[in-house]
């Protein structure tokens, strides 16, 4: 797969082409509220394998997903920990990734054989448009080679990953800096798995006020 389409702006045509790439097992780069991400169909095993090979990513590292809305969790998670409902209401759409017990049907490569799945609803309009047009969740691993800095623009995606990415939705520069805040639920408590854009103190304050 070597035909890459880079659009200077995100048009309906660009979104339609990106969805065709996803449905045929290809990779799409797109902007989020943190960095550019790489999207494939998370239920396409061949596409997942290609994504890992493209990034040089270890197979024991799970891949985070972006959903269009909380109702799409039905196909992804085994259950929703009670505090997560409040956090979704307060922080979605936004840079908060919640790690749920994964549904049994999820590919092991997607979960890193951990049985959990990280999901967020992005606040970036292009990310929202893409996942909505595709009709189901997409992967959102950062657009970079493993060990390199994530791309914050379309040019950075192309310089790192070249023609291996079939479509790049150019939504301009993204903020970069930190990734999404990553939360888990262990022993009945919400826990911080990775610091990010949303301070954990802000999350604790919301939970304390519930």
Phi, psi of 89 (to 5 degrees): -65, -35
CA gap 107, 110 in Å, rounded: 5
pLDDT at residue 163, rounded to an integer: 83
CA gap 84, 81 in Å, rounded: 6
CA gap 119, 122 in Å, rounded: 9
Q: How many angstroms separate the Cα of 63 from the Cα of each of 16, 90, 189? A: 24, 24, 23
CA gap 193, 96 in Å, rounded: 11
| Domains within the chain, CATH numbers bracketed | 5-80+104-177 (3.90.870.10)
For 2, the 3-state DSSP assignment is: coil
pLDDT tens by residue, 21-66: 999 999 999 999 999 999 999 999 999 999 999 999 999 999 999 9
CA-angle at 93, arms to 92 and 97, nearest 5°: 65
- Give yes or no for residue 154 having a pLDDT over 60: yes
pLDDT tens by residue, 65-124: 999 999 999 999 999 999 999 999 999 999 999 999 999 999 999 999 999 999 999 999
- Examine residue 169 and say whether the peptide bond preceding it is cis (omega within 30 degrees of 0): no
pLDDT at residue 7, rounded to an integer: 44
The dihedral sign for the CA sequence 136, 139, 140, 144? negative
- Give yes or no for residue 6 having a pLDDT over 60: no
CA gap 128, 117 in Å, rounded: 19
- Give yes or no for residue 14 having a pLDDT over 90: yes
Q: Which residue stretches of the chain are H helix?
A: 12-23, 45-55, 82-91, 108-111, 125-134, 154-161, 200-208
């Amino acid at each position: 797969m070597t035909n890459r389409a880079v659009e200077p702006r995100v048009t309906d045509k660009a979104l339609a082409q990106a969805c065709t790439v996803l449905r045929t097992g290809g990779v799409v780069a797109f902007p989020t509220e943190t960095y550019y991400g790489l999207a494939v169909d998370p239920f396409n095993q061949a596409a997942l394998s290609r994504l890992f090979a493209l990034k040089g990513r270890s197979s024991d590292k799970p891949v985070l997903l972006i959903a269009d809305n909380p109702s799409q969790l039905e196909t992804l998670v085994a259950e929703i920990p009670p505090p997560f409902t409040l956090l979704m209401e307060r922080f979605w759409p936004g840079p908060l990734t919640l790690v749920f017990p994964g549904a049994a049907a999820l590919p092991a490569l997607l979960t890193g054989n951990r049985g959990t799945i990280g999901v967020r609803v992005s606040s970036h309009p292009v990310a929202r448009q893409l996942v909505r047009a595709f009709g189901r969740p997409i992967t959102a691993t950062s657009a970079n080679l493993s060990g390199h800095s994530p791309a914050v623009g379309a040019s950075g995606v192309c310089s790192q990953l070249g023609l291996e990415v079939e479509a790049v939705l150019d939504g301009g520069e993204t903020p970069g800096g930190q990734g999404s805040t990553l939360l888990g639920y262990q022993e009945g408590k919400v826990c911080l798995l990775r610091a990010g854009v949303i301070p954990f103190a802000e999350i604790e304050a919301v939970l304390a006020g519930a």
